[in-house]
Amino acid sequence: MDEKTKPEVMAQINHQPPLFKGWMDAPVDIKPGIFCYAGKPQNLKYVDLPNPREWSPLDKDWKLPSNWKEIILEGLRERLERFRSLKIFMDICVRCGACADKCHFFIGSGDPRNMPVLRAELLRSVYRREFTKAGKILGKFAGARDLDYNVLKEWWYYFFQCSECRRCSIFCPYGIDTAEITIIARELLNLIGLNTDWIAAPVANCYRTGNHLGIQPHAYKDMIDFFLDDIEEITGVRAEPSFNRKGAEILFVTPSGDVFADPGTYTCMGYLILFHYLQNLGLDLTWSTFASEGGNFGYFTSHEMAKRLNAKMYAEAKRLGVKWILGGECGHMWRVINQYMDTFNGPADFLEEPVSPITGTKFENAKTTKMVHITEFTADLIKNNKLKLDKSRNDNLKVTFHDSCNPARGMGLLEEPRYIIKNTCNHFYEMPENTIREQTFCCGSGSGLNAGENMELRLRGGLPRANAVKYVNEKFGVNMLACVCAIDRAVFPALMDYWVPGVGVTGVHELVSNALILEGEKQRETNLRGEPLPGMEEGEEDV
Ligand code: SF4
Ligand code: SF4
């Protein structure tokens, strides 16, 4: 046991707040395991981000421009004028504390600066000092402080410990959205070259090749070809998707994580199987090897970068002459589409209001963006009895559903995934009410925090979500966590292995394709992962 955590040492901790000293007096302590590595110069250079250089957060000198303070304060002044919400959020917090214990990072770490109210106060204290009379005159007594090197380091450390999940905002009586404050703080930090490489590298890759992983178009297609081989082996049916096909009715865009990382790859196979099934019913859809990413790490850098990376979806839709866009299971991709895309890259008046070619349903909610979430599309197919499904093929699974923060709180996508799961699986169990839907707990790794070097932060931040999974695991024997986000699919396996071993992770369309009965298919013996289907276990032993 660590010397510091021995019960006799812990018992001596004085819990009384120190007299005349507050959080502002405690210097930031940057700990390995909590932060992501600094952005590499080549990645910053690729997209013209300022101050590219080698540096480490553990260095004393972060190699900043000599006028860094002026740059940040001017950036803050400009944003206070541009974003009325920021100005309001800076002024109206009454420090009631209703948000304090709602952040998964605070719950998992116990670090007071991870309380949403205090995270926002890191910026608000400087705002008061520089932009309010009370702060200028009364200083610390008005909760104001100067922006110095220590404060700047504190900003970098803690604004990259917020996953911009917005859970805190739904508990705030004033609707203060700390995620929006984090977004602005990260923009300010980027003005002087303070970023992380787990964000800067995907941004540069996305700008170069169209996706975060830097996959070239031919490699993207190769990967899909591998999936087609696997699908044929499992189902006996060969799907034949098209790529970059001009004149198709629908363009499909999904996060690249689904194409290159398990278990997201099974979700991708799920899309391919579904689209093949629908071809005979009139689906005319193309994939793109250029708009090969729905996610947008630019959003974790600045609004301008998000806009720049997002533009490719509409540009590709225009080039191919499609009528509308169908989007895959992703988290922040949908927040950007739902909340920003119209003003970032629209109006998309060269596209048409999406109508399902199979059911004739008009997706009026997508009237302006012209983009439909695949769970909306599939739920509509099920509701109109267009899919032949054998739920028993998922009988080995006891499934629960994690509402990914962005689709849930950023676009209100709550019912469609549940409707699909209930129609493709016989065993579905909800986690406790205060951990799902709008109140869902973050995976702990969103907004570009899904690196390896900050695993301690991720496991701490993911604790509340894992705890709720553990509850249904112990109570109902849940063994599968379903979600509609590529980051979730990438990060949950490690979180589950650590906190709730034995629980797997899946996308919703993997469940759909397991249950979907294809015309001309052979008797399926395994699911897409090559595991025996219920009732086929003996066959496996024979093999
Ligand atoms: S709940 Fe809202 S008003 Fe209360 S402390 Fe948190 S941000 Fe401030
Ligand atoms: S947005 Fe999410 S991660 Fe950020 S402070 Fe609020 S609850 Fe915590």
pLDDT at 490: 95
pTM: 0.94
What's 160's DSSP letter? T
- Those residues with Cβ within 8 angstroms of residue 419's Cβ, 6 or more apart along the chain or in another chain: 379, 382, 383
Q: Distance, CA 87 to ligand 2 centroid (Å)?
A: 19
Q: Is the CB of 160 under 6 A from ligand 2?
A: no
pLDDT at 538: 66
Please say whether the beta carbons of 483 and 404 come within 8 A. Answer: yes
Tell me whether residue 498 is exposed, middle or buried, using C-beta atoms within 10 angstroms of its C-beta: 0 to 12, 13 to 18, 19 or more. Answer: middle
Q: Is the CB of 189 under 6 A from ligand 1?
A: no
Q: Is the CB of 128 under 6 A from ligand 2?
A: no
**Ligand positioned closest to the Cα atom of 159:** 2
The dihedrals phi and psi of 88, each to the nearest 5 degrees, come to -65, -45
pLDDT at 543: 42
Q: Is the CB of 113 under 6 A from ligand 2?
A: no
Q: Is the CB of 64 under 6 A from ligand 1?
A: no
Q: Which helix (H) or strand (E) holds 325?
A: strand 324-327
> What would the two tokens of residue 113 be?
């600066």
How many degrees, rounded to 5, is the angle at CA 210 between CA 208 and CA 215? Answer: 80
Give the whole-angstrom CA distance, residue 295 versus residue 66.
Answer: 35
Q: What is the pLDDT of residues 238-259, one digit of tens each?
A: 999 999 999 999 999 999 999 9
Three-class secondary structure of residue 26 per DSSP = coil
User: Looking at ligand 2, which atom is closest to the CA of residue 161?
Assistant: 3
User: Looking at ligand 2, which atom is closest to the CA of residue 167?
Assistant: 7
Q: Distance, CA 32 to ligand 2 centroid (Å)?
A: 21
User: Looking at ligand 1, which atom is closest to the CA of residue 92?
Assistant: 3
Q: Is the CB of 164 under 6 A from ligand 2?
A: yes
Give the gyration radius of the chain's Cα atoms.
24
The dihedrals phi and psi of 262, each to the nearest 5 degrees, come to -65, 145
Q: Distance, CA 23 to ligand 2 centroid (Å)?
A: 19
Of 535, 518, 278, 237, nearest to 388 (Cα)?
A: 518
Of 348, 68, 23, nearest to 193 (Cα)?
A: 68
Q: Is the CB of 99 under 6 A from ligand 2?
A: no
Nearest protein CA to atom 2 of ligand 2, as residue: 165
Of 26, 516, 493, 543, nearest to 262 (Cα)?
A: 493
Q: Is the CB of 420 under 6 A from ligand 1?
A: no
Please say whether the beta carbons of 418 and 401 come within 8 A. Answer: yes
- Those residues with Cβ within 8 angstroms of residue 228's Cβ, 6 or more apart along the chain or in another chain: 238, 239, 240, 241, 272
Q: Which stretches of the chain score pLDDT less than 50?
A: 540-543
Q: Distance, CA 88 to ligand 2 centroid (Å)?
A: 18
User: Looking at ligand 2, which atom is closest to the CA of residue 405?
Assistant: 2
Q: Distance, CA 336 to ligand 1 centroid (Å)?
A: 25
Give the other-Cβ count within 10 Å of 363's Cβ: 20
Nearest protein CA to atom 1 of ligand 1, as residue: 172
Three-class secondary structure of residue 29 per DSSP = coil
Three-class secondary structure of residue 373 per DSSP = strand
Q: Distance, CA 177 to ligand 2 centroid (Å)?
A: 9
DSSP β-ladder status, 480-483 and 250-253: unpaired
393-432 burial: b if 16+ Cβ within 10 Å, else e:
bbebbbbbbbbbbbbbbbeebbebbbbbbebbbebbeebe
